[in-house]
Structure 1
Amino acid sequence: MRKLLPLALTGVLALSACQFAGDDDADDGAHHLNAMKAFPLHAYIPDAASRDGKATGKAQWILAKQCMVRLGFTGFKSLDIRTVESTYPVRKGTLSNSSKVGDDSPYGVDDPDLAAEHGYHNRQQQESDQPMEWPADQYTALTGVFESGDSHRAHGSPIPRSGCMGEAMRKIFGPEPKPTKVGAVKLSGYYSIAMELWYEAHKQATKEPAWKKANRAWSDCMKDKGLHYPDPDEASTDTDWYGTDKPSGKEKKTAAADAQCKLDTGYIQAVHAVESRAQKAAIAKNKKALDDRRAANERAMVNARKIVDKS
């Protein structure tokens, strides 16, 4: 007959099982919160990878193609839109391998096993956001971005403001919103209101005592592992990680510790709560402007589908 476990040991095992289950739930919760879609302002930023987002991209290229033909680029008459949709133009000779350091999650690495394998080299090129090179004259006509010595005319005709791509967007979305500056980046697109509020909310959130407390707890956890960083951003942007295609052993060790400390200290849950509150306050204060922009975006999606259907 199987020998029964002592009562005390049974209790310990039961408690351990509950703790492990709780840890799994907490880890899943952290991963769920470490995504753009987990934030209130995400509802006001159209998804380029969605069906409507893809329709907008296709409509933009359809109109840009017509514009390029009008400017005298006759080769565009035979351009297959399928070869360029889901791309953005870059000037020929300037495309370089972008760094794969970083990722698209708000708070960085959160899976110790993946971090131990990839370090901070987690950046993935999105299917809806691929660069494509164009000769200088076609690039300037498409984008309206000029280098010194570039002509602002194409085959005798003036290039539209922001190029054919910009003209297409105005036809789809209507007048372009007033440009705004987010940090060191100037935003002049149709999602600039939400992105500006997101930036301001994040900046405000990082000053809150709860955020600073989370940073200290994470930093203390890292010190226990022999690593010294004041916060996760400092760890993920360490200059030692740049300039290589593959992560070093040191990078993998640091990233794995970073992710584990986020889980052990509840870092993501803590800072997400602070930032979400800041975003909700920003939405409440700017609700009319956000709702008006979202309504305009929805009308633009209707316009885009009509353009695609007619092509």
Structure 2
Amino acid sequence: MRKILPLALTGLLAVSACQFAGGDDPGDEAHRLNTMESFPLHAYVPDATSRDGKAVGTAQWILAKRCMVRLGFTGFRTLDIRTVESTYPVRQGTFMGGGKVGDDSPYGVDDPGRAAEHGYHNVVRDESAGQPMEWPADQYAALTGTFESRDSHRAHGHPIPAKGCMGEAFRRIYGPEPKPAKIGGVRLSGYYSLPVQYWYQAHKQARKDPAWKKAEREWSACMKDKGFHYSDPDQASTDSDWFRGDEPSEKEKKTATADARCKLDTGFIQAVHAVESRAQKTAIGKNEKALDARLADDRRAMAKARKIVDDAS
């Protein structure tokens, strides 16, 4: 998801600075809470950067390589899996772009210094992830099962499996995909759609909470004192002016700096995170059986992935 989850999935009771006297700095606490890992439901989303998570990625490519050879791409016999681990195919000629608006945190900018430099163009690349690799159109279609209008759905006379060789490989590891879910009018499919669905619902509920509304009002009043008029942080970060270029304007930098400073000064992140975490804990309590079953499926898949990797070694 820009965030592995939709932007709408971000979320938290106003905590005054005095509560931190003799404890953590409010800024440090805000930074800690402004991560996906800080939420209860994150425990149900496997970590792709963990040892087991990386094993799944490697196993997927091992199986996808065999599938591509089966489809007639004989050059894949000599593909070194190490060159593609932790990557997902990109179609050749796809514009990857430079700076983009947004970042990977649930509540947006929270560092005034960084905001002053980058504005809302605050994307942080995961250094542990591999660089995207481009593939020719026919190989990309076979790998992903994603087609443009003139692409063939066959490769060297062989039908391309659903979601391509990468999709087939993932099904070999995880089993059949769960039924798609709909959240916010969007059809969500995949093996982690269940926790994402509960995350979205908890976020939607949390935003209606009076404590969340109060945090937004305090943030907005702080911004107004600095000369900026936005009702909430989402409105500020998605201002259409920021999408007009790859580099942040001076206006964007000043707005983002004020945004981050007001989040820290009003305790916005601590406030809304508390509300959203509470909503997630309620969701977990109501759906614990289904979520635990999802975790059991993950454990089985990771064990299968490790065996595939070991057998190929």
Q: TM-score, normalised by structure 1?
A: 0.90
Shift of 1:83: 1.1
| 2:65 alignment partner in structure 1 | 65
Shift of 1:182: 3.2
Deviations, residues 12-57 of structure 1 (Å, cap 9, x unaligned): xxxxxx8996696222111111111110000000011111111111
| 2:166 alignment partner in structure 1 | 165
Greater share of helix residues, 1 or 2?
Answer: 1
> 2-side partners of 1:250 and 1:135: how far apart?
41
Q: Structure 2 counterpart of 1:88, which letter?
A: Y
| 1:234 alignment partner in structure 2 | 235
Shift of 1:63: 0.2
| 1:225 alignment partner in structure 2 | 226
Q: What's the % identity of the aligned pairs?
A: 73
Matches within 5 A, 1:65-84: 65-84=65-84
| 1:94 alignment partner in structure 2 | 94
Confirm or deny: 8 A CA contact 1:111 1:260 kept in the other structure.
Answer: yes
Shift of 1:132: 2.0
> 2-side partners of 1:184 and 1:125: how far apart?
29
Are 1:174 and 2:206 matched, yes or no? no
> 2-side partners of 1:190 and 1:45: how far apart?
9
Q: Where do 5+ consecutive residues of structure 1 fail to align?
A: 1-17
| 1:3 alignment partner in structure 2 | none
> 2-side partners of 1:20 and 1:297: how far apart?
38
Confirm or deny: 8 A CA contact 1:48 1:128 kept in the other structure.
Answer: no
Change (3 A) 1:81 1:170: same
Count of residue pairs the alignment pairs up:
294
Confirm or deny: 8 A CA contact 2:180 2:187 kept in the other structure.
Answer: yes
Shift of 1:199: 1.0
Confirm or deny: 8 A CA contact 1:60 1:165 kept in the other structure.
Answer: yes
SS in 1 for 2:134: strand
Q: Structure 2 counterpart of 1:138, which letter?
A: Q
Confirm or deny: 8 A CA contact 2:178 2:191 kept in the other structure.
Answer: yes
> 1-side partners of 2:227 and 2:130: how far apart?
39
Shift of 1:185: 4.1
Matches within 5 A, 1:41-60: 41-60=41-60
Bigger CA drift: 56-65 or 81-90?
81-90
Give the structure, 1 or 2, with the largest relative contact order (CA under 8 Å, sep 6 or more): 2
Shift of 1:240: 1.3
> 2-side partners of 1:196 and 1:205: how far apart?
14
SS in 2 for 1:87: coil
Shift of 1:96: 2.8
| 1:271 alignment partner in structure 2 | 272
Are 1:31 and 2:36 matched, yes or no? no
Q: Where do 5+ consecutive residues of structure 2 fail to align?
A: 1-17
> 2-side partners of 1:192 and 1:20: how far apart?
37
Q: TM-score, normalised by structure 2?
A: 0.89
> 1-side partners of 2:98 and 2:58: how far apart?
25
Q: Structure 1 counterpart of 2:260, which letter?
A: A
Q: Which has the larger radius of gyration?
A: 1
| 2:148 alignment partner in structure 1 | 147
Are 1:283 and 2:284 matched, yes or no? yes
